Amino acid sequence: MKTDYDGERDVTNNIDQWLAMPDDACRPSLFSTCRARLSIAGTQDKLPCIARGGRYILPAPGTPTTHIVKPPSPFFPGLPENEAFCLDLASACGLPCAESGLDFRRDGVLFVTKRWDRRSRQDRIERIHQEDMRQVLGLRPESKYQESGDYGGLPAIFEAARRHGIKGPGGTDPAMFLAMAAVFSWLAGNCDAHAGNFAVLHGPEGPQFAPLYDIVCTRVYPNLATELAMTIGGASDAQAVREEDFVQLAGELDLAPECLLAEAHRQKEALRRRLAARPASGMGAEVARFVEERCADVDCWQDPRPRAECTQPFAPPSSVPQR
């Protein structure tokens, strides 16, 4: 592990050595291998660091990190590729997402995401205060899932946003942002969209939802449950969601049902365009097959467009950068 004069530590070689270890449950965490000081909440192994010139640096004490590195998982094959692919699809649907990509190393692949709770000012990186909706709602760490009974899912998040004046990313409508996120999570097979995966940035423009992050198609892993982290309308299981559940969710978010159904069809078409333009392989192909099945479900739903076309609140999507 290289130590620089200013207190930084280059841990790129440590990461490569970790990737070369046997891929099993006995492998230590990447975080402990690099002897990092600060951790990030969550069950997945991850390393906060500075990504600079193809190297990964642990900063000097007090210096903000700029990126988060997630290595492969011994329990969920293809997890970095899964998350990168899902965020690429979300971006194709026009959703604001964390800037991220894959770093293909000699002995494995890393998922690398740029921190959205940082800003650059006069050549310095500054932290932006953030908290997730679990914290906003005053929940215990173990209560991030709606099944805990401690909060009411997406409608509770919407009510908290309205009560605290939290806007969508870029000052947009928070209800539409939450609705778009719910539609995409269902289409992408992400059953783990819990309160901890919606964050709020407290910047100079006032509180706003952060870009989407931690989106994974959990449905491609047969050992994971199909129960939704937060219900969609009256459905608590992803396999049971129907058109009427999104109609109910629209009412709970004070949106016209036609608006949310139109959004489901819009995302369906955006997903098919992206999948046709960039055929996937490996884990991406597994996710793509599931997404197409969900898109086929939406084909059977009422399509209120153009009679009830809703304004898409975000800028046109851009491609997810690859490292």
How many residues are listed for the chain in this entry?
A: 323
DSSP 252-288: HTT--HHHHHHHHHHHHHHHHHHHHHS---THHHHHH
Q: Which of 36, 28, 32 is nearest to 74 (CA)?
A: 28
* Sequence-ordered alpha helix ranges (H) in 140-237: 154-164, 174-187
Alpha helix ranges (H) inside the chain: 12-20, 30-33, 79-92, 133-136, 154-164, 174-187, 243-252, 257-277, 283-299
Is 245 catalytic? The answer is no
Tokens for 301? 């739903």
CB of 288 closer than 8 Å to CB of 247: no
| Distance, CA of 158 to CA of 179 (rounded, Å) | 10
Nearest to 274 by CA among 260, 284, 261: 284
Instruction: Determine the Cα–Cα distance for residues 185 and 232; give it in Å rounded to an integer.
Output: 11
The one catalytic residue in 45, 88, 132, 192 is 192
Reading the block at residue 147, the tokens are 């099944």
Provide the 3-class DSSP secondary structure of residue 163.
helix
Q: Looking at the annotation, which residues are catalytic?
A: 192
